[in-house]
Amino acid sequence: MSKKRIDEISELLLVDKRVLVSQLAEKFKVSAVTIRNDLVVLENKGFAKRIHGGAVLAELEREHGVADFYSDSTRIALATFALREIKDDDCIFLGSGTTCCVLARMLKGFRNLTVVTNNITALTDLLENVSRVYLIGGEVTSIDHKTLLSSWEKPDTFLDNIYVTKAFTSISGLDFKAGLTVNSIISTHIFRHIPSMSHFWYLMADSEKFNRIAIYPVAELDKIQVLISNRVPEDYLNYFRDHDVRVVFAET
């Protein structure tokens, strides 16, 4: 029965490109654990890629570049430095985006780390690596066809009751006039709340994000406390120095 079920799941993946554990468990009248084990078999064969709550066809995962960003040297460098700033007993906010996903995969060896996040793609790694994970609910969407995030229009009902020691996010663009900007209005609801919900805001931004303006402004440049980048233009360095923003360089 196991081989027949796995073959049928394979056929569903070929047709639908994505399957959910809950739906498969109901369809085949087996436990969620059994379905997850089936998906492990398919992943080991290179046919599927497990995601939170299910799996996608491996070809779809490669097409969208989901695996590629985990091996990107710049993202790894930014996340590696961010990791050094995280201590046991911290309560952190982890934003959406690919660099934050890389950081989530690095969060190993902590005994008492709490993570608040809207990064659905990072959930599997977070649940395996850290003590407590709080997912901010709401609308599920993607702005890059690689990662999933959640948010909602009135975050006050949840975020007003949360305070974290450190927040780690990426960004779509930094500009002197526009400030920090993002490409999705969904993200603005979270970003605008970060200065009031965290003691330190760590922004991970590669050199390509400077002098770039996305459509939605979320904060002035001096709202962050720490900038982690591989390279920063001189005029931005002067600005951050004048506004007491700590700038650190990650080696790529």
Q: Is the pLDDT of residue 182 over 50?
A: yes
Q: Choose the weakest-confidence range: 7-21, 144-158, 205-219, 233-247.
A: 144-158
Which residue shows structure tokens 């056929």?
11
Q: pLDDT class for 20, splitting at 50, 70, 90?
A: confident
Tell me what pLDDT residue 207 has: 94
Residues 6+ apart with CB under 8 A from 59: none
Tell me what pLDDT residue 142 has: 63
Structure tokens at 131: 């003590």
Find the mean pLDDT for residues 86-99: 94
Q: In the chain, what percentage of residues exceed pLDDT 70? A: 87
Tell me what pLDDT residue 124 has: 87
Using left for φ > 0, alpha for ψ between -120 and 50, and beta otherwise, residue 227 falls in beta
Q: pLDDT class for 244, splitting at 50, 70, 90?
A: very high
Tell me what pLDDT residue 65 has: 46
Q: In the chain, what percentage of residues exceed pLDDT 90? A: 53
Tell me what pLDDT residue 148 has: 64
Q: Is the pLDDT of residue 60 over 90?
A: no
Paired residues of 182 in beta bridges: 216
Q: What angle do CA 62, 202, 97 make, to 5 degrees?
A: 20
Q: Is the pLDDT of residue 90 over 60?
A: yes
Find the mean pLDDT for residues 103-123: 92
Which residue segments constitute the domains of the chain, with CATH numbers given? Answer: 2-62 (1.10.10.10), 68-249 (3.40.50.1360)
Q: Choose the weakest-confidence range: 56-60, 73-77, 207-211.
A: 56-60
Q: Is the pLDDT of residue 52 over 50?
A: yes
Q: Is the pLDDT of residue 184 over 90?
A: no
In terms of Cβ atoms closer than 10 Å to its own Cβ (0-12, 13-18, 19+), residue 25 is middle
Q: What is the pTM of this model?
A: 0.71
Tell me what pLDDT residue 144 has: 61
User: Which is more confidently placed, 171 or 184?
Assistant: 171
Q: Choose the weakest-confidence range: 38-42, 97-101, 133-137, 184-188.
A: 184-188
How far is 42 from 53, CA to CA, in rounded Å? 15
Tell me what pLDDT residue 217 has: 94
